[in-house]
């Protein structure tokens, strides 16, 4: 007999116990009844406990199953993403091949260098074939089409060209927007023309006070002015290893503040943030000393700092005035960068100041360009000017507020988290959609054949800064 059989009471034994209980006196009977009912309730409790434990086990199994389902879904979506990228790269290869074959079949090898089909066309004066143009954005010059390619790792050397429009939402006015731009606000200084406020000759020889006064208002205060979505977007590109360079005309330092590294940045028009220099003899001046003087002014309320070296000129922050050379970094890098980029994004600039305004025209013809601006600028494709002739094959034109567009673009790219923009549709995105409806008309079909001449005219061989007349 094994121990479990011995320990378990037989039904017969149980009856016997019950019979014995009935023979006991009344007082004892109560006692037995009580004992009996307490053991009944503890059996009930254990039954309930067992049920609860069983329930918990089922719930925990369900949780484990859900976890495994979620894990499966994540793996499936990752594998789908990989498959999609592979599909895109395979598609590119097939397309390249097909283009080469078709070109051969058409016997165009002599007219068009066949090598460029595979290796990538790098500009030049000759016309591109329809097939070459098709390769750039697949005849779909929309933001979605560009985002799809960017997600598919097609662009890894992105150049950003930016201007004052990118800082408007930070509270810093641009220059040329009528009414709100800085040049609309300097009329009070009786300048011969608005840009004279940043003109070296005017500053040195005619009147330095307008600049000194405006400098006091413009000094970037990191407490007051924060990077906008456009600035943050550049930082995200940098963090993902996709940024070749960011060229900015802005002097507010918001690119630096957003974390764009020095090596990735060319401040083409200088910045308020470095050491100052004499406008006349270039003698250096400590930035804090200059800032202090410009912000406070002297006892007469005048805020200029005279140069003690030449005793003629006045100190100015290291921003590039009209008539001054651009920083070395600009001349050292811009040609290779523009020719080497695989995507160029132009944001918030009127492209009216040379030589910066020429950069977008240096992008190779087989490289897509994106314009994020309130208005059409430079030689970006313009339906009106194409007059039913050429086709737009590479300019993605997004007219509207740059933060709205960057938000929408970032969502298409899956950059929301890095950029801190939510998944829900914001009011600004809605505006973008409305604008996109308009700009779809612009970005879809025709190519502009315009103003290379205008850009060339504005290009000065000495690299000095000039303004292009409207």
Nearer to ligand OAD, 230 or 447 (CB): 230
Min separation Cβ 467 and ligand OAD, Å: 7
Annotated ligand binding at 303? The verdict is no
> Does the annotation place 278 within a ligand binding site?
yes
Alpha-carbon distance values, 454 to 46, 302, 432 (Å): 91, 41, 31
Q: What does DSSP assign to residue 38?
A: H
Could you say whether residue 164 binds ligand OAD (CB under 6 A)? yes
Q: Which of 150, 158, 168, 196 binds ligand OAD (CB under 6 A)?
A: 168
- Catalytic positions, please? 269
From 170-178, 256-264, 271-279, 448-456, give the range in contact with ligand OAD by CB under 6 A.
170-178
The secondary structure of 215-283 as a DSSP string is HHHH---TTT----HHHHHHHHHHHTT-EEEEEE---S-HHHHHT--GGGEEETTB-SSS-EEETTT--
Q: Which span sits near ligand OAD by CB under 6 A: 88-96, 301-309, 344-352, 363-371?
A: 344-352
H helix intervals, 328-401: 328-340, 383-386
- Interface with ligand OAD includes 176 (CB under 6 A)? yes
The answer to whether 394 touches 134, Cβ cutoff 8 Å, is no
List all residues 6 or more positions away from 409 whose beta carbon is below 8 Å from its beta carbon.
Answer: 143, 147, 233, 372, 398
Q: Tokens 């004992």 appear where?
A: 35
Pick between residue 103 and residue 370 the one whose CB is nearest to ligand OAD: 370
Structure-block tokens of residue 452: 């290379």
Binding residue for ligand OAD, selected from 142, 271, 358, 373, defined by CB under 6 A: 373
Q: Which of 132, 165, 220, 436 binds ligand OAD (CB under 6 A)?
A: 165
Q: Which of 157, 177, 333, 416 binds ligand OAD (CB under 6 A)?
A: 177
Using the rule CB under 6 A, is 350 a contact of ligand OAD?
yes
Residue in 349, 358, 429, 439 binding ligand OAD, rule: CB under 6 A: 349
One residue of 44, 90, 375, 434 binding ligand OAD per CB under 6 A: 375
Q: How many residues bind ligand OAD (CB under 6 A)?
A: 27
**357 closest CA partner among 227, 229, 234, 247:** 247
- CA 97 – CA 109 distance, rounded (Å): 14
- Residues paired with residue 319 on neighbouring β-strands, in sequence order: 270
- Tell me: is residue 281 an annotated ligand-binding position: yes
310 assigned ligand-binding residue: yes
Calpha distance 261→239 (Å, rounded): 10
- Three-state helix/strand/coil letters over 81-140: HHHHHHHHHHHHHHHHHHHHHHHHHHCCCCCCCCHHHHHCCCCCCCCCCHHHHHHHHCCC
Q: Tell me which of 319, 343, 442, 455 binds ligand OAD, using CB under 6 A.
A: 319
In the complex, the smallest distance separating the C-beta of residue 356 from ligand OAD, rounded to whole angstroms, is: 7
Asked if residue 352 binds ligand OAD (CB under 6 A), the reply is yes
394 binds ligand OAD (CB under 6 A): no
Chain centre distance of CA 289: 35
Known binding positions for Zn(2+): 278, 281, 307, 310
Question: What are the residues binding ligand OAD (CB under 6 A)?
Answer: 163-165, 168-169, 174-177, 181, 195, 198, 249, 251, 269, 319, 348-350, 352-353, 373-375, 377, 401-402
Bind-site residues: 278, 281, 307, 310
């Amino acid at each position: 007999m094994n121990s479990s059989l011995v320990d378990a009471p037989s039904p017969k034994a149980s009856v016997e116990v019950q019979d014995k209980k009935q023979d006991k006196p009344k007082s004892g009977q109560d006692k037995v009844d009580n004992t009996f009912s307490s053991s009944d309730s503890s059996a009930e409790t254990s039954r309930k406990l067992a049920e609860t434990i069983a329930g918990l086990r089922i719930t925990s199994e369900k949780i484990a199953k859900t976890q495994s389902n979620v894990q499966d879904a994540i793996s499936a979506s990752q594998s789908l993403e990989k498959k999609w990228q592979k599909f895109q790269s395979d598609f590119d290869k097939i397309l390249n091949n097909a283009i080469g074959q078709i070109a051969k079949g058409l016997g165009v090898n002599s007219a068009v260098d066949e090598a460029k089909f595979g290796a990538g066309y790098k500009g030049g004066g000759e016309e591109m074939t329809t097939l070459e143009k098709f390769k750039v954005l697949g005849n779909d010059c929309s933001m979605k089409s560009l985002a799809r390619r960017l997600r598919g790792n097609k662009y890894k050397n992105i150049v950003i060209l930016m201007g004052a429009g990118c800082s408007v939402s930070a509270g810093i006015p641009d220059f040329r927007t009528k009414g709100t731009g800085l040049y609309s606000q300097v009329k009070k200084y009786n300048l011969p023309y608005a840009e004279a406020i940043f003109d070296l000759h005017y500053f040195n020889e005619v009147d330095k006070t307008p600049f000194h006064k405006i400098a006091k208002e413009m000094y970037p205060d990191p407490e007051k002015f924060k990077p906008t979505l456009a600035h943050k977007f550049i930082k995200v590109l940098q963090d993902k290893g996709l940024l070749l360079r960011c060229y900015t005309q802005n002097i507010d330092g918001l690119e630096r503040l957003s974390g764009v590294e020095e090596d990735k940045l060319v401040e083409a028009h200088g910045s308020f943030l470095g050491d100052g220099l004499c406008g006349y003899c270039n003698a250096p001046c400590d930035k804090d000393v200059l800032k202090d003087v410009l912000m406070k002014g002297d006892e007469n309320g005048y805020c200029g700092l005279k140069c003690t070296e030449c005793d003629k000129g006045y100190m100015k922050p290291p921003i590039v005035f009209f008539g001054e050379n651009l920083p070395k970094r600009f001349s050292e890098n811009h040609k290779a960068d523009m020719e080497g980029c695989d995507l160029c994004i132009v944001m918030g600039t009127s492209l009216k100041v040379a030589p910066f305004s020429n950069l977008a025209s240096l992008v190779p013809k087989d490289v897509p360009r994106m314009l994020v601006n309130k208005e059409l600028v430079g030689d970006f494709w313009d339906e009106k000017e194409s007059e039913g002739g050429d086709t737009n094959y590479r300019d993605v034109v997004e007219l509207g507020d740059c933060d709205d567009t960057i938000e929408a673009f970032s969502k298409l790219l899956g950059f929301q988290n890095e950029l801190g923009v939510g998944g829900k549709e914001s009011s600004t995105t809605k505006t973008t959609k409305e604008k996109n409806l308009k700009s779809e008309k612009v970005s879809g079909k025709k190519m502009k054949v315009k103003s290379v001449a205008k850009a060339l005219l504005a290009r000065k061989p000495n690299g000095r800064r000039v303004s292009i007349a409207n």
